[in-house]
Amino acid sequence: MLMLIKKITILLLLGLSSVSAKGNLMSGLTDIVDQAEEKKADDKKVLNFAFKQRMRTQWIARDALLVAMDFNRSFYQKEMLENANAFNKNFIGLIGSEKDIEKAKKIDKDFGQKIKDVNDTWIKFYDSVKKLSKDAKEKEALKFIGENNIKLLDDIAYIFTHFIASYQSTNKLEASMAHIKSMLFTQVGKPRMYINMLVKEKLLVKQNINKKENQKDLEKSVKNMDRLMKALKDGDKELELNGTEDRKILEKLNISQKIWEEVKALINKKKLTSKEWSILITKNEDFIKAHTEVVKLTRASNDN
Protein backbone atom coordinates (compact mmCIF):
# COMPACT_ATOMS: atom_id res chain seq x y z
CA MET A 1 0.00 0.00 0.00
CA LEU A 2 2.78 2.35 1.04
CA MET A 3 4.67 1.47 -2.13
CA LEU A 4 1.62 2.29 -4.24
CA ILE A 5 1.16 5.72 -2.60
CA LYS A 6 4.88 6.43 -3.12
CA LYS A 7 4.59 5.44 -6.79
CA ILE A 8 1.52 7.66 -7.32
CA THR A 9 3.25 10.58 -5.58
CA ILE A 10 6.32 10.24 -7.82
CA LEU A 11 4.10 10.08 -10.91
CA LEU A 12 2.17 13.14 -9.80
CA LEU A 13 5.38 15.07 -9.13
CA LEU A 14 6.79 14.06 -12.50
CA GLY A 15 3.57 15.18 -14.12
CA LEU A 16 3.61 18.52 -12.34
CA SER A 17 7.25 19.19 -13.15
CA SER A 18 6.70 18.44 -16.84
CA VAL A 19 3.70 20.79 -16.85
CA SER A 20 5.74 23.56 -15.24
CA ALA A 21 8.72 22.90 -17.55
CA LYS A 22 6.44 23.27 -20.55
CA GLY A 23 4.88 26.38 -19.01
CA ASN A 24 8.35 27.85 -18.48
CA LEU A 25 9.33 27.04 -22.03
CA MET A 26 6.18 28.64 -23.44
CA SER A 27 6.45 31.79 -21.32
CA GLY A 28 10.22 32.05 -21.93
CA LEU A 29 9.73 31.91 -25.70
CA THR A 30 6.87 34.40 -25.53
CA ASP A 31 9.06 36.80 -23.52
CA ILE A 32 11.87 36.67 -26.09
CA VAL A 33 9.48 37.28 -28.99
CA ASP A 34 7.84 40.16 -27.08
CA GLN A 35 11.26 41.65 -26.41
CA ALA A 36 12.15 41.47 -30.10
CA GLU A 37 8.79 43.02 -30.97
CA GLU A 38 9.49 46.00 -28.71
CA LYS A 39 12.75 46.61 -30.54
CA LYS A 40 10.92 46.34 -33.87
CA ALA A 41 8.30 48.80 -32.64
CA ASP A 42 11.11 51.29 -31.96
CA ASP A 43 12.39 50.86 -35.54
CA LYS A 44 8.85 51.42 -36.81
CA LYS A 45 8.65 54.64 -34.79
CA VAL A 46 11.80 55.92 -36.52
CA LEU A 47 10.24 55.15 -39.89
CA ASN A 48 6.99 56.79 -38.90
CA PHE A 49 8.91 59.93 -37.94
CA ALA A 50 10.50 59.93 -41.37
CA PHE A 51 7.09 59.66 -43.08
CA LYS A 52 5.80 62.58 -41.06
CA GLN A 53 8.88 64.67 -41.83
CA ARG A 54 8.09 64.36 -45.54
CA MET A 55 4.57 65.69 -44.97
CA ARG A 56 5.82 68.49 -42.70
CA THR A 57 8.13 70.03 -45.34
CA GLN A 58 5.09 70.77 -47.47
CA TRP A 59 2.92 71.74 -44.53
CA ILE A 60 5.46 74.36 -43.41
CA ALA A 61 5.77 75.73 -46.96
CA ARG A 62 1.98 75.91 -47.30
CA ASP A 63 1.64 77.73 -43.99
CA ALA A 64 4.42 80.15 -44.96
CA LEU A 65 2.43 81.12 -48.05
CA LEU A 66 -0.77 81.52 -46.03
CA VAL A 67 1.11 83.78 -43.62
CA ALA A 68 2.48 85.84 -46.53
CA MET A 69 -1.02 86.32 -47.98
CA ASP A 70 -2.28 87.33 -44.53
CA PHE A 71 -4.71 84.42 -44.32
CA ASN A 72 -5.54 83.85 -40.64
CA ARG A 73 -1.96 85.02 -40.13
CA SER A 74 -1.27 84.49 -36.43
CA PHE A 75 -2.83 81.01 -36.48
CA TYR A 76 -0.65 79.84 -39.37
CA GLN A 77 2.46 81.53 -37.96
CA LYS A 78 1.95 79.46 -34.83
CA GLU A 79 1.16 76.25 -36.74
CA MET A 80 4.16 76.72 -39.04
CA LEU A 81 6.51 77.14 -36.09
CA GLU A 82 5.01 74.13 -34.28
CA ASN A 83 5.55 71.97 -37.35
CA ALA A 84 9.12 73.25 -37.73
CA ASN A 85 9.84 72.53 -34.05
CA ALA A 86 8.48 69.00 -34.45
CA PHE A 87 10.52 68.56 -37.64
CA ASN A 88 13.64 69.77 -35.83
CA LYS A 89 13.14 67.45 -32.87
CA ASN A 90 12.61 64.40 -35.07
CA PHE A 91 15.38 65.39 -37.48
CA ILE A 92 17.91 65.56 -34.66
CA GLY A 93 16.71 62.16 -33.47
CA LEU A 94 16.86 60.74 -36.99
CA ILE A 95 20.40 61.84 -37.76
CA GLY A 96 21.66 61.53 -34.19
CA SER A 97 22.27 57.79 -34.21
CA GLU A 98 25.93 57.16 -35.07
CA LYS A 99 25.17 53.43 -35.31
CA ASP A 100 22.46 53.94 -37.94
CA ILE A 101 24.61 56.37 -39.91
CA GLU A 102 27.51 53.92 -39.95
CA LYS A 103 25.13 51.24 -41.24
CA ALA A 104 23.83 53.55 -43.99
CA LYS A 105 27.39 54.50 -44.98
CA LYS A 106 27.88 50.91 -46.06
CA ILE A 107 25.29 51.52 -48.78
CA ASP A 108 26.55 54.97 -49.78
CA LYS A 109 29.96 56.14 -48.61
CA ASP A 110 28.91 59.78 -49.09
CA PHE A 111 26.01 59.36 -46.68
CA GLY A 112 27.82 61.14 -43.82
CA GLN A 113 28.56 64.20 -45.98
CA LYS A 114 24.98 64.19 -47.29
CA ILE A 115 23.66 64.29 -43.71
CA LYS A 116 25.84 67.34 -43.02
CA ASP A 117 24.57 69.10 -46.17
CA VAL A 118 20.94 68.37 -45.29
CA ASN A 119 21.56 69.60 -41.77
CA ASP A 120 23.01 72.89 -43.13
CA THR A 121 19.93 73.41 -45.32
CA TRP A 122 17.63 72.57 -42.44
CA ILE A 123 19.33 75.05 -40.05
CA LYS A 124 18.74 77.88 -42.58
CA PHE A 125 15.22 76.65 -43.30
CA TYR A 126 14.36 76.50 -39.60
CA ASP A 127 15.82 79.95 -39.09
CA SER A 128 13.64 81.31 -41.92
CA VAL A 129 10.54 79.75 -40.35
CA LYS A 130 11.38 81.39 -37.02
CA LYS A 131 11.79 84.79 -38.71
CA LEU A 132 8.54 84.45 -40.65
CA SER A 133 6.67 83.36 -37.57
CA LYS A 134 7.64 86.65 -35.94
CA ASP A 135 7.32 88.93 -38.95
CA ALA A 136 5.02 88.07 -41.88
CA LYS A 137 6.86 90.57 -44.08
CA GLU A 138 10.19 88.70 -43.96
CA LYS A 139 10.48 88.32 -47.74
CA GLU A 140 13.93 86.70 -47.73
CA ALA A 141 12.74 84.06 -45.28
CA LEU A 142 9.69 83.32 -47.42
CA LYS A 143 11.87 83.11 -50.52
CA PHE A 144 14.23 80.63 -48.83
CA ILE A 145 11.35 78.42 -47.72
CA GLY A 146 9.80 78.61 -51.20
CA GLU A 147 13.04 77.71 -52.93
CA ASN A 148 14.16 74.95 -50.57
CA ASN A 149 11.08 73.03 -49.41
CA ILE A 150 11.20 70.57 -52.31
CA LYS A 151 14.94 70.09 -51.86
CA LEU A 152 14.32 69.36 -48.18
CA LEU A 153 11.57 66.89 -49.12
CA ASP A 154 13.94 65.07 -51.51
CA ASP A 155 16.73 65.09 -48.94
CA ILE A 156 14.49 63.54 -46.31
CA ALA A 157 13.41 60.88 -48.83
CA TYR A 158 17.11 60.16 -49.52
CA ILE A 159 17.97 59.76 -45.83
CA PHE A 160 14.87 57.71 -45.24
CA THR A 161 15.53 55.33 -48.18
CA HIS A 162 19.07 54.73 -46.95
CA PHE A 163 17.96 54.03 -43.41
CA ILE A 164 15.39 51.52 -44.68
CA ALA A 165 18.00 49.85 -46.88
CA SER A 166 20.42 49.64 -43.96
CA TYR A 167 17.82 47.87 -41.85
CA GLN A 168 17.36 45.26 -44.57
CA SER A 169 17.92 41.69 -43.51
CA THR A 170 20.49 39.45 -45.18
CA ASN A 171 17.86 36.72 -45.15
CA LYS A 172 16.31 36.73 -48.65
CA LEU A 173 12.77 35.83 -47.58
CA GLU A 174 12.75 38.41 -44.78
CA ALA A 175 14.21 41.12 -47.04
CA SER A 176 11.69 40.37 -49.77
CA MET A 177 8.73 40.47 -47.35
CA ALA A 178 10.06 43.68 -45.79
CA HIS A 179 10.43 45.29 -49.22
CA ILE A 180 6.76 44.75 -50.05
CA LYS A 181 5.79 46.27 -46.71
CA SER A 182 8.13 49.24 -46.92
CA MET A 183 6.85 50.07 -50.43
CA LEU A 184 3.28 49.91 -49.13
CA PHE A 185 4.04 52.01 -46.04
CA THR A 186 5.98 54.56 -48.09
CA GLN A 187 3.18 54.96 -50.60
CA VAL A 188 0.23 54.82 -48.23
CA GLY A 189 1.36 57.91 -46.33
CA LYS A 190 2.27 59.91 -49.44
CA PRO A 191 -1.19 61.41 -50.10
CA ARG A 192 -0.82 63.39 -46.85
CA MET A 193 2.32 64.97 -48.29
CA TYR A 194 0.72 65.46 -51.72
CA ILE A 195 -2.32 67.27 -50.34
CA ASN A 196 -0.10 69.84 -48.64
CA MET A 197 2.00 70.14 -51.77
CA LEU A 198 -1.08 70.67 -53.93
CA VAL A 199 -2.45 73.46 -51.77
CA LYS A 200 1.00 75.01 -51.59
CA GLU A 201 1.26 74.98 -55.40
CA LYS A 202 -2.21 76.47 -55.72
CA LEU A 203 -1.12 79.27 -53.35
CA LEU A 204 2.05 79.87 -55.40
CA VAL A 205 -0.04 80.21 -58.56
CA LYS A 206 -2.43 82.60 -56.82
CA GLN A 207 0.47 84.76 -55.67
CA ASN A 208 1.98 84.79 -59.17
CA ILE A 209 5.19 83.15 -58.02
CA ASN A 210 6.64 81.31 -61.05
CA LYS A 211 3.03 81.01 -62.15
CA LYS A 212 3.53 78.97 -65.32
CA GLU A 213 5.89 76.50 -63.73
CA ASN A 214 3.81 76.08 -60.59
CA GLN A 215 0.61 75.62 -62.59
CA LYS A 216 2.35 72.80 -64.43
CA ASP A 217 3.52 71.26 -61.15
CA LEU A 218 0.02 71.59 -59.76
CA GLU A 219 -1.50 69.69 -62.68
CA LYS A 220 1.17 67.01 -62.32
CA SER A 221 0.51 66.70 -58.58
CA VAL A 222 -3.24 66.27 -59.23
CA LYS A 223 -2.45 63.41 -61.63
CA ASN A 224 -0.02 61.84 -59.15
CA MET A 225 -2.55 62.06 -56.35
CA ASP A 226 -5.33 60.57 -58.50
CA ARG A 227 -3.09 57.70 -59.54
CA LEU A 228 -1.88 57.01 -56.00
CA MET A 229 -5.37 57.04 -54.47
CA LYS A 230 -6.54 54.58 -57.14
CA ALA A 231 -3.42 52.45 -56.66
CA LEU A 232 -3.99 52.15 -52.93
CA LYS A 233 -7.35 50.56 -53.72
CA ASP A 234 -6.78 48.65 -56.95
CA GLY A 235 -3.01 48.25 -57.09
CA ASP A 236 -0.41 49.59 -59.52
CA LYS A 237 2.49 47.48 -60.71
CA GLU A 238 4.82 50.42 -61.36
CA LEU A 239 4.20 51.85 -57.90
CA GLU A 240 4.68 48.33 -56.49
CA LEU A 241 1.26 48.42 -54.85
CA ASN A 242 -1.08 45.43 -54.73
CA GLY A 243 -4.20 47.29 -53.68
CA THR A 244 -6.35 46.16 -50.80
CA GLU A 245 -9.39 44.03 -50.15
CA ASP A 246 -9.52 44.84 -46.46
CA ARG A 247 -13.03 46.16 -45.86
CA LYS A 248 -12.04 48.48 -43.02
CA ILE A 249 -9.19 50.01 -45.01
CA LEU A 250 -11.46 50.40 -48.04
CA GLU A 251 -14.06 52.20 -45.93
CA LYS A 252 -11.46 54.66 -44.65
CA LEU A 253 -9.99 55.05 -48.13
CA ASN A 254 -13.42 55.95 -49.45
CA ILE A 255 -13.67 58.72 -46.86
CA SER A 256 -10.32 60.24 -47.83
CA GLN A 257 -11.16 59.76 -51.53
CA LYS A 258 -14.37 61.73 -51.05
CA ILE A 259 -12.50 64.60 -49.41
CA TRP A 260 -9.86 64.46 -52.15
CA GLU A 261 -12.59 64.83 -54.81
CA GLU A 262 -13.84 67.96 -53.03
CA VAL A 263 -10.31 69.35 -52.77
CA LYS A 264 -9.67 68.55 -56.43
CA ALA A 265 -12.80 70.41 -57.53
CA LEU A 266 -11.50 73.52 -55.75
CA ILE A 267 -7.94 73.08 -57.00
CA ASN A 268 -9.21 72.84 -60.58
CA LYS A 269 -11.19 76.08 -60.30
CA LYS A 270 -9.32 78.98 -61.88
CA LYS A 271 -10.22 81.56 -59.25
CA LEU A 272 -11.30 80.96 -55.69
CA THR A 273 -13.27 83.31 -53.48
CA SER A 274 -11.91 83.87 -49.97
CA LYS A 275 -14.68 81.59 -48.65
CA GLU A 276 -13.56 78.86 -51.05
CA TRP A 277 -9.96 79.33 -49.91
CA SER A 278 -11.12 78.75 -46.34
CA ILE A 279 -12.96 75.60 -47.41
CA LEU A 280 -9.88 74.39 -49.30
CA ILE A 281 -7.62 74.84 -46.28
CA THR A 282 -10.12 73.12 -43.99
CA LYS A 283 -10.55 70.22 -46.44
CA ASN A 284 -6.75 69.94 -46.66
CA GLU A 285 -6.63 69.36 -42.92
CA ASP A 286 -9.69 67.07 -42.97
CA PHE A 287 -7.94 64.95 -45.56
CA ILE A 288 -4.82 64.56 -43.43
CA LYS A 289 -6.90 63.44 -40.45
CA ALA A 290 -8.96 61.02 -42.54
CA HIS A 291 -5.99 59.59 -44.37
CA THR A 292 -4.06 59.09 -41.13
CA GLU A 293 -6.72 56.47 -40.32
CA VAL A 294 -5.88 54.68 -43.58
CA VAL A 295 -2.18 54.78 -42.68
CA LYS A 296 -2.83 53.39 -39.18
CA LEU A 297 -5.03 50.55 -40.41
CA THR A 298 -2.63 49.65 -43.22
CA ARG A 299 0.29 49.48 -40.83
CA ALA A 300 -1.68 47.19 -38.55
CA SER A 301 -2.90 44.95 -41.35
CA ASN A 302 -1.35 42.08 -43.26
CA ASP A 303 -3.44 42.29 -46.38
CA ASN A 304 -0.56 41.16 -48.59
Partner 1 sequence: MKSRYIIGSILLSTVLVVGGVNITKDLESIVIKEDNKNIKIQRIQDTKHRLTSSFTKTSRECPPFCIQPMNIGKVKTIGEIELLKYIKEMQKDDSDMLLIDARTRDWYREGSIPTTINLPFTMLKKGSKYLKKILKLLGAKEIDGKWNFDKVPTMIIFSNGIWDEQATEEIKTLVSLGCPEDKILYYRGGMQNWNILGLTVK
Contact positions vs partner 1 (CB under 8 A): 14-16, 18-19, 22, 25-26, 28-30, 32-33, 36-37, 40, 169-174, 176-177, 180, 242, 245-247, 300, 302-304
Least distance from partner 1 to the Cβ atom of residue 8, Å: 14
| Minimal distance, residue 74 CB to partner 1, in Å | 44
Euclidean distance between CA atoms 169 and 285, whole angstroms: 37
Between residues 15 and 112, which has the closer beta carbon with respect to partner 1?
A: 15
Question: In angstroms, what is the minimal distance from the CB of 238 to partner 1?
Answer: 14
User: Least separation, in Å, of the C-beta of 32 and partner 1?
Assistant: 6
Nearer to partner 1, 120 or 174 (CB): 174
Can you tell me the distance from the alpha carbon of 180 to that of 175, in angstroms, rounded to the nearest whole number? 9
What is the C-alpha to C-alpha distance for residues 61 and 55, in angstroms, rounded to an integer? Answer: 10
Task: Compute the distance between CA of residue 20 and CA of residue 25 in angstroms, rounded to an integer.
Answer: 8
Q: How far apart are CA 187 and CA 237, in angstroms?
A: 13
In degrees to the nearest 10, what's the CA dihedral of 167, 169, 170, 174?
Answer: -160
Q: What is the DSSP letter of 238?
A: T
d(CA 218, CA 298): 28
Q: Which is nearer to partner 1, 26 or 92 (CB)?
A: 26
Q: Closest separation between CB of residue 123 and partner 1, Å?
A: 37
Q: How far is the CB of 107 from partner 1 (least distance, A)?
A: 19
By beta-carbon proximity to partner 1, the closer residue of 74 and 176 is 176
Nearer to partner 1, 36 or 92 (CB): 36
At 79, the amino acid letter reads E
Q: Is the dihedral of CA 132, 134, 137, 139 positive or negative?
A: negative
Nearer CB in complex with partner 1: 42/110: 42
